[in-house]
Amino acid sequence: MKIFTIKEMIAAEKAADNAGISYMQMMEAAGKAVADAIIARFPAAASRIHILAGTGNNGGDGLVAARYLAEAGAAVTVYLHRPRDVETDSNYAKLAAMGVEMSEETAVSHQNTHAADILIDALLGTGAARPIGGRMGDLLRVIQQSTFSGRVIAVDSPSGMNCDSGAVDPLTMPADLTVTFGAAKRGHFRFPGAEVCGELLIADIGIPPTLPAVANVPLTLMDTKTARKMMPKRPLNGHKGTFGTALIAAGSNQYWGAPLLAGRAAYRVGAGIVALAVPAAIRPTIAGGLPEATYPVVREKDVFSAATVELLLNGRPAHALLVGPGISEKAGEFMDALLSHADELPPLVVDADGLNLLAAMPNWAEKLPPNSILTPHPGEMARLMDVPLPQLMKMDRVTAAQEMAKKWGQTLMLKGAYTVVAAADGRVTLLPFANPLLGVAGSGDVLAGGIVGLLAGGMDGWETAVLAGYLHGLAGEIMAEKLGDAGLLASELADGLTTARKQVIG
């Protein structure tokens, strides 16, 4: 699945029209998709449906939906933002011939809005470019102040939402369901826009995916089908060596839980062997919590030093190395020494304190092995970029991740709601999860462990980050069905990776 900017969507529709799929055909498919979505979810035949139709293509989509809903037996009323002409507007003419009730939008009142079961917002769609005012503002203000308690369905996007930036007009009606066409838009996954879309349904309107205007769009949306294709094979004659050794350098006298969570997650995604290198003071406790792991004998008592690097390099060969969870910001000497041996390291994942230690180094990106995996949350990302966090938060997350992955020559996972994974070669994907249940201490340690566990099996770095992120997010969704939006323990999330993995395999 692709995720478009407004400009890319306009180009795709134009290319489709040039290829023989007319705008009218696409409008017919779009309106039918809205009607089909409503019929599939609600008792449409017994519903009173009011449709707010704008003057452009979004309004045309609404008129097509009105026809299909009326044919399904719904009591449909269309409110037109501006008068339409039966001579030039075939969709309007068809509704008129059917006897569907139509009025100007000025007829909308508190009383008749309250009378509707379903309200379809087909006013602006992706056309929002400035604050809503005038008659349309008056209309939306009436609805906002009304006692309407039914369902709101947005056509393409809630009116007043910017489909690039995700900015939302104060008069925007939050939707229960948004049916968007051809592809999702970036604004659907940027806040505050993401909060007003409700359920997002992406409807096919006949635009061929092979058109260059579609195929060349870089941003993709991760899904289960793609995850299934990425999933490493598990041969029947495989053994622990087949599935790789994940080496995790984590923990300090301050942070005991991070190594356990990362190691547990690495095993849960399929690593054959997990070696936990942890400071001596916490090793007995950690070993009791995860007896399945091996434990290189680190001499340092509380925090890693340069001497730890020699142990990691000369110990049992590993197929992937995770550095960072809980190692403390006092481990700068260790990080310097580790990167001085960059050409000797297995594929590398840097997380948590490891990222903060990187950010403190001059020219840190030049010291890393190429195509390492970096997993910053926004605060860590700001430190790596050396910009204030408020400045980063104003940036387009996708663009920032793309540009930095290319600049640094690394795979970059910018975490948060709708995590972005960008590769140095330009590949970029969005994970379809925004789940407050995952906002719990240790969640990032589980994710990092999942990444190194898959990486140890020999996967490509970018695909590893994408798949591990998807399994992590899916495990959160599965747990949310049981727990709601709070109360998750990170250890439960780690164990939930097996359920997510099984669901992906099918």
Annotated domain spans of the chain = 3-217, 225-505
The tens digit of pLDDT for each residue in 280-291 reads: 999 999 999 999
pLDDT of residue 129: 76
Tokens of residue 229, six digits: 């294709």
Q: What is the mean pLDDT of residues 440-444?
A: 97
pLDDT of residue 374: 98
238 with 313: CB under 8 angstroms? no
pLDDT of residue 50: 94
pLDDT-derived band at 188, boundaries 50, 70, 90: very high
245-249/273-277 β-pairing = parallel
62 with 155: CB under 8 angstroms? yes
370 with 351: CB under 8 angstroms? no
Range with the poorest average pLDDT among 105-114, 229-238, 318-327, 394-403: 105-114
pLDDT of residue 110: 64
The tens digit of pLDDT for each residue in 448-477 reads: 999 999 999 999 999 999 999 999 999 999
pLDDT-derived band at 111, boundaries 50, 70, 90: low
Asked whether the predicted pLDDT for residue 108 surpasses 80, the reply is no
pLDDT of residue 151: 95
The C-alpha atoms of residue 62 and residue 292 are separated, in whole angstroms, by 59
pLDDT-derived band at 443, boundaries 50, 70, 90: very high
pLDDT of residue 80: 93
The tens digit of pLDDT for each residue in 484-506 reads: 999 999 999 999 999 999 999 99
The structural architecture, per CATH, of the domain 225-505 is 3-Layer(aba) Sandwich (3.40)
> Sign (positive/negative) of CA torsion 252, 255, 256, 258?
negative
pLDDT of residue 46: 85
Asked whether the predicted pLDDT for residue 316 surpasses 90, the reply is no
The tens digit of pLDDT for each residue in 143-182 reads: 888 878 899 999 999 999 999 999 999 999 999 999 999 9
pTM above 0.85, yes or no: yes
Tell the residue number behind the tokens 């550095």, with chain if given: 323
Local structure of residue 169 (DSSP, 8 states): -
According to CATH, the superfamily of the domain at 3-217 is: YjeF N-terminal domain (3.40.50.10260)
Say what percent of the chain tops pLDDT 70.
99
pLDDT-derived band at 114, boundaries 50, 70, 90: confident
Asked whether the predicted pLDDT for residue 363 surpasses 70, the reply is yes
Q: What is the mean pLDDT of residues 290-295?
A: 97
Tell the residue number behind the tokens 């995916």, with chain if given: 209
15 with 196: CB under 8 angstroms? no
Q: 3-217 with 225-505: one CATH topology?
A: no
The tens digit of pLDDT for each residue in 368-380 reads: 999 999 999 999 9
Average pLDDT, the chain: 95
Residue 384 CA: distances (Å) to CA of 143, 354, 397, 412:
46, 11, 14, 11
Q: What is the mean pLDDT of residues 258-284?
A: 97
The C-alpha atoms of residue 451 and residue 462 are separated, in whole angstroms, by 10
DSSP 220-266: EE--HHHHHHHSPP--TT--TTTT-EEEEE---SS--HHHHHHHHHH
492 with 476: CB under 8 angstroms? no
pLDDT of residue 23: 96
